[in-house]
Structure 1
């Protein structure tokens, strides 16, 4: 396979929309001194989500990550100290926006013994207090692969536990700093063991030089570790310093991958050129929960 990147195709053009919803949401984030992965990671869907769907993915524990993954635009460095008032500010913003579904992600905090699990769990609880009808999805790092850290988060009962595999096993050492493919799978499996009723989710970027066989093998690995929801999106190089795009997949190829994923048993798969981990996340929680309940009913009947 050639390592020469292709020219960006027409279907990756992004529609810009800076209406009142977009500007109002941006002002709210600055007023509350909050960060969003939408901005920090330069998500291509920010205008659709902020201006049309009025949804956002909050990024807590600061805006500085302790890892330097070669695909990610979030800045790397030495993070600031913990802000224990942040969970309440996030919860206040969720209530102000009257969100039905919220996604909370975290920068990797390898400098902390709990990997940031305590603040993430408190954010879930704060949202529950102030917006009891809002479903909460969390997207943590692997938190060092420490089971106790994961348990802190799962005990707070998020509605979805999302942890991204990001790329195929062969490319993981080159693409993901400090992360390990098998450790991510174990993280997802243990989350399901701790709280079987909570859907798990993972995301795969393609276009980094993986083969179709490797994509399908990753699907199998995720299903073998009881992952319910999968998202598949096109990797886009955020800056010239980041890893280059090797291939741009056609929308028809994404459609085929979605069909294969559903055949393999995922309760939901979002697959498309501009799909990101939190894309249309509000539509996924109900489908996954129904699927798990149905599985449970079937197992009871067969017992």
Structure 2
């Protein structure tokens, strides 16, 4: 379980200072279908070494992803740019919050170097929220995309962006850099935004993805939901309809896992059969791709899923 104290710094400090005084929510024992193996093996160690040698941050580590062992063993990692400290305090998230460091302008070159060393055919780039920056970090996304394209032209690029709330022109700059997949997670149903994602706005996030399709219809769009936070099945299906109205191609649904006692509580663990039902419903609503399992995360199997997504589009266009 992730700790509330940042043990990597010389002077221990709260990892989530804004959550320190919240009442505890007991962390429930996970059911058998949630359990994963501890990360071990030569390939895992090699991936970890490349990440550390290039002084990079991954969401795999910072968010405590349960799939890190599997992904890193397969030499897949999701790079998190713009530092390891977020300006927001979402109730579900384990990434550190506080005042971020200045933008590291050498980071783009180091990520491109890591992509080459790892031989990545598909790479996922995400970031913390940077409300402190005039453009929310948009230009840094552009710089990273361009650096990867220069160093490894055959690598397809998927980005998982913040919402660029109140950052005029930021989203357009990133769209115009032409990533292969533009992902932004809605995370939960509108009713739960105030308690789970208080710094964001549901319809702004939905509109962001709609703007991607309006500006560049060739880009794939993708969004994800966590379940187990107290949402109803009907609310999830309404979000699916909203996503389809915005032209979103790819939907991911996974189980919310509570990082610490200070984070939002798990309302329930959703049974695997329910995930299968969500996948069936989503496919019937017209999504090109759906990944819905308890351990699904935004970038889980992203490379393989991208190939399936491209194939699904080609098939749809040929009909």
Q: Give the TM-score normalised by the residue count of structure 2.
A: 0.89
Match of 1:195 in 2: 216
1:17 Cα deviation from its structure 2 partner:
3.0
Contact 1:139 1:162 in 2 (8 A): yes
Q: More helix per residue: 1 or 2?
A: 1
* 1:132 corresponds to 2:153: yes
Stretch deviating more after TM superposition (144-153 or 288-297): 288-297
Contact 1:145 1:183 in 2 (8 A): no
1:8 Cα deviation from its structure 2 partner:
2.1
Provide, for residues 22-76 of structure 1, a one-character-per-residue CA deviation record: whole Å limited to 9, x for no partner: 111111111111000000000000000001x210000000000000100000000
Q: Distance in 2 between matches of 1:10 and 1:87?
A: 40
Stretch deviating more after TM superposition (235-244 or 16-25): 16-25
Cα 1:193–1:294 change in 2 (3 A) is farther
Match of 2:75 in 1: 54
Match of 2:262 in 1: 241
- Specify the SS of the correspondent of 1:170: helix
Match of 1:16 in 2: 38
Provide, for residues 86-123 of structure 1, a one-character-per-residue CA deviation record: whole Å limited to 9, x for no partner: 00000000000000110000100000011100011110
What is the RMSD of the two structures over their aligned residues, measured on CA atoms? 1.6
Return 5+ residue gaps in structure 1 as ranges.
299-303
Matches within 5 A, 1:154-193: 154-193=175-214
Moved runs in structure 1, 4+ residues, more than 6 A?
Answer: none
Contact 1:70 1:175 in 2 (8 A): yes
Match of 2:295 in 1: 274
Return 5+ residue gaps in structure 2 as ranges.
1-24
Q: Give the TM-score normalised by the residue count of structure 1.
A: 0.94
Contact 1:154 1:191 in 2 (8 A): yes
Q: Distance in 2 between matches of 1:131 and 1:113?
A: 30
Q: Distance in 1 between matches of 2:52 and 2:256?
A: 28
| Number of residue pairs aligned between Structure 1 and Structure 2 | 295
Q: Distance in 1 between matches of 2:232 and 2:96?
A: 29
Q: Distance in 2 between matches of 1:151 and 1:162?
A: 14
1:283 Cα deviation from its structure 2 partner:
1.7
Contact 1:205 1:232 in 2 (8 A): yes
1:16 Cα deviation from its structure 2 partner:
1.7
- Specify the SS of the correspondent of 1:18: coil
Match of 1:253 in 2: 274
- Specify the SS of the correspondent of 2:86: coil
Q: Distance in 2 between matches of 1:187 and 1:32?
A: 32
Match of 1:118 in 2: 139
Contact 1:198 1:289 in 2 (8 A): no
Q: Which of 24, 47, 68 does residue 25 from structure 1 map onto?
A: 47
Stretch deviating more after TM superposition (255-264 or 36-45): 255-264
